[in-house]
Structure 1
Amino acid sequence: MKEQAELTARTPPEIDEAASDRRLGESVRLLRQNMGLSLQELGRRAGLSIGMISQLERGLATPSVRTLRLLSLALQVPISFFFEERAEGPSPRYIVRRGQRRLLRLTPSGVLKESLAPDAPGQMEMYELTLSAGGSSGPDFVKHQGEKAGYVLAGTLRLWLDHEAHLLEAGDSFRFPSTVPHMFDNPTDAPTRIVWITNPVEP
């Protein structure tokens, strides 16, 4: 019960989901245009349909974790590029204070991502993920170059690696090559929190 209360207390306040989707879609559209890519070419690079990308850019759809990862790889930016702007205040080069974490809410997927890494360019991405009951990375497996690792802070994580399910509880950890087909979800009725680390380049 104490763990559940802590998770609930840490949940950020409700936001305008439509405005958040529009901001995310605008980020994708501007980045695509700056790279000189058509919808067709971005779709080909990301392995996504033109209709899906068009809906995302117009703020009419919220991407899954999988879709956002495919877009980030195709557009050659870290997923943190799509996060909300940092809260007001100084931004240390190497430190991220708890109150200054940038957020990404993928509400339909039941996923909240908080960036734990500074904004300065680097090879490693680090997040705290909160998965609501039934939350998931999306309905499909994804694979790409790089490596992933994580640590379950609270709750239960079902991690699918090469179509095999692994149930992880608080205190469990993992690491695997991102070339292994993978996806994840929270099969319980309580929130799950994970520290998630990604190195999107081949180790």
Structure 2
Amino acid sequence: MNKPLPVAAPPRNERAHALGLQIRTLRAATGTSGGVLAARAGVSRSMLSRVERGLASPSVETLERIAGAMGAAVSQFFVDRSARFDFLHVPAGRGMVVDSLVAATGARYELLGRLMSGGLTVAPSLVQMDGLQPESAALTQEGLKFIYMLSGKAHYRYASRGVCVGAGDALLFDASAPHGVERVEDAPVRYLCATFSLRP
């Protein structure tokens, strides 16, 4: 006789579900895995998973640990999800640093927000390269990418093409092809980068 398949536990309540969804969304925006975030926050992986699925109501201390590990404010976990996410203000220097991209490229990526409308997700970042350490020119992402140069000069590689870019220059391309700064000509290099992708 076949045993019935286990049924997933329902969320504790709508508030717990909304809180967990917001935490998972912010974590995904920074490209951080659940295991890495749990380790940084000093909580168990299973506890973080239960919180993200709305199955547990974390203490204020736990929320502060999770927020601190993401470089976010606890208040970001309690956005009213019934309202449209069509306005976001990030004060200067208060974006979230994406550690995975810092490690992979040597550049500082500061996530300035992440908004969803329908099936479209937009994620702008401020990228800074203070030294001559080049960013890997082999980044690939889903969707489109827009870059606006603020300062410095660099040689940007897109697939088999290369172009020298400086302050005021802009790039727009399909991010699924390998791309990135291949060589820094005049440091520091700073540019705004925004990715546009469709949710599956």
TM-score, normalized by length of structure 2? 0.51
Aligned counterpart, 1:166: 163
Rounded Cα–Cα distance in structure 2 between residues aligned with 1:169 and 1:141 = 20
| 2:145 paired residue among 141, 145, 148 | 148
Q: State the superposition RMSD in angstroms.
A: 3.8
Task: Tell me how far apart the structure 2 counterparts of residues 104 and 167 of structure 1 sit (CA, whole Å).
Answer: 26
2:122 counterpart residue number: 124
**Structure 1 residues 131 and 183 mapped into 2: Cα distance closer, same or farther (>3 Å)?**
same
How many angstroms does 1:25 deviate by?
6.7
Q: State the one-letter code of the partner of 1:133.
A: G
Q: 1:133 to 1:186 in 2, by over 3 A?
A: farther
Is it true that 1:113 corresponds to 2:99 in the alignment? no
Identify which of 72, 77, 80 aligns with 1:86: 72
Give 1 or 2: higher helix fraction: 1
Q: Deviations over 1:55-114 (max 9, x none)?
A: xxxxxxxxxxxxxxxxxxxxxxxxxxxx83225777886211114222235267431111
CA contact (8 A) 2:153 2:189 kept: yes
Q: Which residue of 1 aligns with 2:37?
A: 27
Aligned mates of 1:115, 1:146 — CA distance in 2: 17
Check conservation: 2:140, 2:179, Cα contact below 8 A: yes
Unaligned runs of 5+ in 1: 1-22, 35-82
User: Relative to structure 1, is the Cα distance of residues 130 and 142 closer, same or farther in structure 2, using a 3 angstrom cutoff?
Assistant: closer
**Structure 1 residues 149 and 188 mapped into 2: Cα distance closer, same or farther (>3 Å)?**
same
Could you list the structure 1 runs, at least 4 aligned residues long, displaced by more than 4 angstroms after superposition.
28-31, 87-93
**Alignment partner for residue 91 of structure 2, among 87, 97, 121?**
97
Summarize the Cα distance change of 1:90–1:146 in structure 2 as closer, same or farther, 3 Å threshold: closer
Count of residues in Structure 1 that have an aligned counterpart in Structure 2: 131
Structure 2 counterpart SS, 1:136: coil
When you count strand as a share of all residues, which structure comes out higher? Answer: 2
Identity, % of aligned pairs?
18
Larger Rg, first or second structure (1 or 2): 2
| TM-score, length basis structure 1 | 0.51
Structure 2 unpaired stretches of 5+: 1-32, 40-44, 50-68, 80-84
